[in-house]
Structures are given as structure tokens and as C-alpha cells.
Amino acid sequence: MTDSVRHTDLPRPSPEGDSLPEGGSHSRLVDAFARTISYLRVSLTDHCNLRCLYCTPKEAGEKLAGAELLTYEEILRVVELAVGLGIRKVRLTGGEPLVRRGVLDFIGRLTAIPGLRDIRLTTNGVLLPDMAAELFRAGIRKLNVSLDTLKPERFREITGADCFERVWTGIRLARKIGFDPVKINVVVLKGVNDDELLDFGRLTLTEPYQVRFIEFMPVGQGTAWSRDRYVSSTDIRERLAALAPLLPSRGGAQEGPASVYRFEGAAGSLGFISPISHQFCDRCNRLRLTAEGRLRSCLLSDEEIDLKAVLRGDGSDTAIEKALLQATLNKPKGHQLAQNGFRNCHGQMSRIGG
């Protein structure tokens, strides 16, 4: 990727509204169940600077070689065509997106795509102390930071790295710089971090973060997935309600897949993401582009389209658009986890990006 883009010259993403439709009436990405697809999640790399026990396979799996990843040019091309079809929101994820070389320039170019009004990033936060200011300058405003514990020692046990302080510093810095919202993603694991639910809840009393509790999902063979570690959102919410009554945020507004609540007078809020216990498939508006360039129609189904082969084969706009339309049509009505006996998906979370 060239280094020719100067951040200061780049157009900034517009605030929430501009004149383009919300992937709505003009969108061509409508699936077989009348869901309009307006959100593309892009995994920039499967490489990560942490080794979370629930995400990274125990046997150090093979990492993708550079040539197996989509190039930034290829990703930009796909996003541009996807926006032409109706995508309005992109989330960059990984692996750890911030470890990929050239990511800031790439983001600068992404923010310049007309019609793409909302670009977000999910990160483990380890590199935020070094990169938060530049990320902001490159055009990112909305951040999700994954942090499963508030205890430094436990952080090391879960992730294999002694980086709690860096992540915590990064979160605070991001807020200070002006990222809004800053959301903290917590995957709740029984016997690992579920004794910290109230600590995370208390954090929102004084700090303006949205702490989002995510149900543990059976994705990624060879990880620590086990049904015994799963805690449902209902359980989590009941335990938090022991601290103080939970009030539905803005009239119980559903924010994407999260149900959002807050404690009275709290600076922050609490989100509950329940892919297992309360499927939100009927509202699913996403496609995923994996690090190796596959279009995945559903996080919890291994069916994918090899878009990299299309890009590096025929490579025409028509062929790429056709693949995006096909991936949309491939979206299942809902995930089949319960029917499949909660069998683990083969796909690696670090390649898919969550």
C-alpha cells in the first residue's frame, strides 16, 4: 500500500446523516427474507497480538501468509462496490486490525469512499495508546474495545499477555480524544470472569462507556468453547439488577444486536448481546468479509463465497457485485446452533472478525 495519502487532506465521515438512503429503498442487497443488508464487517488480518483462550485455537493454527490476505486495494474495491449496492456501514476487525501495517492510510482511503457514512473499529486496545490520536485523525470516531476483565493478572491468564494497563490507558485516552461512543466488549465465561459482572456494572455509574456483555459463542475449533462456560444474557442481567434497577435505555431501544439498559443517573450504559439465547437473526443486516477474502453470510454458519478467487480471477465489477448479491441471498433465515446441538463452527474467529 502506498503512503501517498495525507490524513489532513481527507474528507471526514459525515455525522450520522447525509442525503444517501440508509441502505434502504435503493439498496440491492435484500435477502430472501426481506432483510436489507447495509453493514459489512471486514477482518483485515487473522494476526493478533493477544492469544485469548476462547478465540485463538490452543494448537497455534497456521497464520495466513501476506499473499493470502486481501490487499488494501482489493478491500477498498470491494467496499466501494458494496456501497454502490447499499452498504452504509463498515466495521474493521480481525485478528487485531491495528497490527496490520499501513492500516491508518487504509482507513484514510476508506473514509473517502462516497456514501460510506459510518466506519467503526473493533480492537483489543493494546495499540491504542500509540495509535488512538492517528486513528481519530484518519476518520474513525466509534470504537469497540474488547476487555474481558478489570484484573491485570486475570487479563494475562485470558489473553496470554501482560497488557491490561495498556488497554485501560488506551480506553481512557480514546475517550479523552473524543471517540464517541467507546464501547467495551466483555465475553462472559462461567468460572473465568463472571464474578466481575458487578464491577463492570459499577464502572458505568461514573464512566461514560457502554459495557456490552456478549454471550459466548461456539465459533472456532480448538478454542475453549464449552457449553459449561456459557452464561445467558438473562442470567447476566439478573445478576446486574442486584446492584440497582436496570432501566431500558431510551425506551428500551434496540441498538443493533444489543438491548441497552442503564442504571438510574449512570454516566454509561449496559448492552446485552444474546446471539444464543435470543436470536436476533430476524434483524440481521450484515455480511462479513474474512481476512482471506471470503464472504460469509452468517457468523454461525460456515458457508462462504471465495471472493478472493473472484477478485484475482475474472475480477470484473460485475463478478464482484454478483458475489455480494449471492452472499446476501445465501443468508439463512436464522442460525441453526440449537438444531445442530451447539456444534462448534469450523471458522476461526480471528479470520472472521466476530
Where do contacts with ligand SAM occur on this chain (CB under 6 A)?
48, 54-55, 93-94, 96, 122-124, 146, 185, 187, 214, 216-217, 219-220, 225, 349-350, 353-354
Identify the residue whose cell numbers are 471458522. 347
- CB closer to ligand SAM out of 122 and 330: 122
Task: Tell whether the torsion through CA atoms of 9, 11, 13 and 15 is positive or negative.
Answer: positive
Q: CB of 233: closest distance to ligand SAM in angstroms?
A: 12
Q: CB of 213: closest distance to ligand SAM in angstroms?
A: 10
Question: Cα(289)–Cα(42) distance, rounded to whole angstroms?
Answer: 5
Nearest CA among 44, 81, 27, 38 for reference residue 316? 81
Contact in structure between 154 and 193 (CB atoms under 8 Å): yes
Using CB atoms within 10 A of its CB, is residue 227 exposed (0-12), middle (13-18) or buried (19+)? exposed
Question: Cα(167)–Cα(28) distance, rounded to whole angstroms?
Answer: 40
- CB closer to ligand SAM out of 222 and 334: 222
For the chain, give the longest Cα–Cα distance: 58
- CB closer to ligand SAM out of 49 and 254: 49
AA identity, residue 12:
R
β-pair type (258-263, 269-273): antiparallel
Nearest CA among 49, 90, 47 for reference residue 69? 47
Residue 272: CA count within 13 A, CB half-sphere: 28
- CB closer to ligand SAM out of 229 and 322: 229
Identify the residue whose cell numbers are 499501513. 102
AA identity, residue 253:
A
- CB closer to ligand SAM out of 115 and 160: 160
> Which residues are within 8 A (CB) of 14 and not within 5 positions of it... i.e. 6 or more apart?
117
Question: Cα(183)–Cα(169) distance, rounded to whole angstroms?
Answer: 14
Using CB atoms within 10 A of its CB, is residue 59 exposed (0-12), middle (13-18) or buried (19+)? exposed
Q: CB of 48: closest distance to ligand SAM in angstroms?
A: 5
- CB closer to ligand SAM out of 79 and 158: 158
Q: How many helices (H) and strands (E) does the chain have?
A: 10, 13
Q: CB of 155: closest distance to ligand SAM in angstroms?
A: 12
Q: CB of 218: closest distance to ligand SAM in angstroms?
A: 7
> Which residues are within 8 A (CB) of 56 and not within 5 positions of it... i.e. 6 or more apart?
48, 50, 220, 223, 350
- CB closer to ligand SAM out of 39 and 225: 225
Q: CB of 21: closest distance to ligand SAM in angstroms?
A: 29
- CB closer to ligand SAM out of 140 and 310: 140
Q: CB of 344: closest distance to ligand SAM in angstroms?
A: 9
Contact in structure between 307 and 341 (CB atoms under 8 Å): no
Q: CB of 139: closest distance to ligand SAM in angstroms?
A: 19
- CB closer to ligand SAM out of 31 and 91: 91
Residue nearest to ligand SAM (CB): 354
Q: CB of 98: closest distance to ligand SAM in angstroms?
A: 8
